[in-house]
Structure formats: structure tokens, C-alpha cells
Amino acid sequence: MADEDKKAQDIELTGSKGDKILRPEGETGKNTDSITPQRRNDDGAQQDKKTNFMADLLAPVAGFGVSFSTMFRKVTTEEYPEKPRPTQARFHGRHQLNRYADGLEKCIGCELCAWACPADAILVEGADNTDEARFSPGERYGRVYQINYLRCIFCGLCIEACPTRALTMTNEYELADSERAPLIYEKHQLLAPLGEGMLRTPLPMADGTTDADYYKGDVTGPTSTQRQYAEARDEQREAGATGEQDSAQEVYR
Ligand code: SF4
Ligand code: SF4
């Protein structure tokens, strides 16, 4: 019998209890009665014993490993809400509806944000701008805009979908309440406050510009015509409010 065949006979066999049995050299595979269990790996067994001993010894304290290592770390106590911790710069917090530099709104009421939202948290209703009441450059503006923060998962897909960068997310995260209704934010809560030099809407577009000029950032502030329009409108409103007060007082006379 060739040497290779002989070696092949020394292959490990598996006994009924999983013991590994080596067939002694010189015995053929035909006479299985003559195979005896033998030659466990004594070194391996001793190693196992040592490992088990150490594991048994350390078992009672092993569970405290995390506790002990934590005890020696520097304690960081957040003094919230007195000193709220600043968020990361790109933290996804409450949404904001932005404005152009003259105060007109960037939202065009296209509803793309609402369609992109996986949680169905946004409701938009667009309406037409008119010469008498213009809220955004172009044809349409967002008349109704709601975000339901009971549903929102702050994934940011809505801001990715917005074609005019009207919708962005702030770092504000204090959005808890004990009732459900206040967590549905309306347009006036989401609209960015007026920045320096901005005028309140409704407002005509800057002279000689198109919505594309606004989109490209060519409008950098209100023009004198827009200012005059806003002043005249505010005066008219104040006069109207005074007139209403006078008539109300007359009713009580
Ligand atoms: S952040 Fe995500 S879940 Fe929240 S309104 Fe936008 S798309 Fe919807
Ligand atoms: S926020 Fe943007 S995507 Fe949503 S309706 Fe307004 S313009 Fe369209």
C-alpha cells in the first residue's frame, strides 16, 4: 500500500458522542471493530482547564467592568434647560420658510416638499399672486403651509425637494408639548422673521425684475418703489384700524 493511502487511513473519525477517534497506523478501514478511541490532545485539554479556571475566577466581577471603567471618567452634567447645549451646525431641527432679501417669500406653493415627505407630515395649499397682493416672485405662493411635528421624523427629504430653497431646517429642537394641536405648525410660525431692511408682504416685485432674477440672487434688498408701496399700505392700514376703533366707540356711545 502506498504511503499516501496509509496516511488516508489515519483520518479522524467521529465517535457516537462526538469524540474524535484516530485509526491506528497499519489497520485497514475494513475492520472497524479494531478502532479504539485514543490520543486526545492533552495540551489542548490542559489549556481549556486553565481558561475555564480564569473565567470562573473573574466571573463575579466581570459584570462590573463597564461600571468600574465609567467611575473614573470625567462627569459631564448638562444644565438643561438653563444652559442648552449647542447642537452640531447641520443638526436637523424645526423647519423655516425663507424670504428673499426684499421680504418676498421664497415658497411658490408647488407642494414638492409635501410629496417628498415619507411621513405625510406637510400640507401645502398654493394660490395665485395678484398685482394687489403679491407674496412671492412669480405666479404662485404658499397660502397654507403646515408641518405636523407629531409625524415629522426630521429626515430632511422635504428640504432636498424644494426647488427654491424656501424650506430649510433650523437647529431648534425644543418641540415638545403636552397637547397635540400646538405641534402642528402653521405658516406664520414657520416663516422666517423679517431681516434687516426687509419689508412685510404683500409687496410688488422689485422694478424690472423677474422671478428668475430673484432665484439667481440678483435682488439684494428692497427698492424705493417697494418701500413707498409698503409705507402707503401701512398708513392705510393704520387709518383703517383707527376708523374701525372710532366706529366701535360710536357703537358704545
Ligand atoms: S423632515 Fe422628513 S418627515 Fe419631516 S417634514 Fe420633512 S420630509 Fe417630512
Ligand atoms: S417649501 Fe419649497 S417645495 Fe414646499 S411648496 Fe414651498 S417652494 Fe414648493
Which of 95, 111, 112, 117 gets mutated to test ligand 1 (max ligand atoms within 8 A of its CB)?
A: 117
Residue owning grid cell 471618567? 73
Using CA atoms, how far apart are residues 95 and 183, in angstroms rounded to an integer? Answer: 12
Residue owning grid cell 443638526? 91
- Does residue 157's CB lie within 6 angstroms of at least one atom of ligand 1? yes
Give the pLDDT of residue 59. Answer: 82
- Does residue 107's CB lie within 6 angstroms of at least one atom of ligand 1? no
Query: What ranges make up the beta strands (E) of 66-212?
Result: 95-97, 122-128, 140-148, 167-169, 184-185
Residue owning grid cell 422673521? 193
Per residue of the chain (253 residues), give pLDDT as tens: 445 554 444 444 444 444 454 554 444 444 445 555 555 567 767 777 777 888 888 887 877 888 888 888 888 888 999 999 899 999 999 999 999 999 999 999 999 999 999 999 999 999 999 988 999 999 999 999 999 999 999 999 999 999 999 999 999 999 999 999 999 999 999 999 999 999 999 999 999 999 999 999 999 999 999 999 999 999 988 887 665 555 544 433 3
- Does residue 162's CB lie within 6 angstroms of at least one atom of ligand 1? no
C-alpha cell at 51: 481558561
Using CA atoms, how far apart are residues 128 and 139, in angstroms rounded to an integer? Answer: 6
- For residue 48, which amino acid is it? D
Using CA atoms, how far apart are residues 109 and 141, in angstroms rounded to an integer? Answer: 5
Using CA atoms, how far apart are residues 53 and 58, in angstroms rounded to an integer? Answer: 9
Residue 233: its H or E element: helix 224-252
What are the structural domains of the chain? 95-235 (3.30.70.3270)
pTM of the model as a whole: 0.69
Q: Helix count (H) and strand count (E) of the chain? A: 8, 7
Residue owning grid cell 426687509? 198
Q: Hey, CA dihedral for 126, 131, 134, 137, is it positive or negative?
A: positive
Peptide bond into 81 cis (omega under 30): yes
Q: CB–CB of 222/206 below 8 Å?
A: yes
CA of 98 to the centre of ligand 1 (A): 17
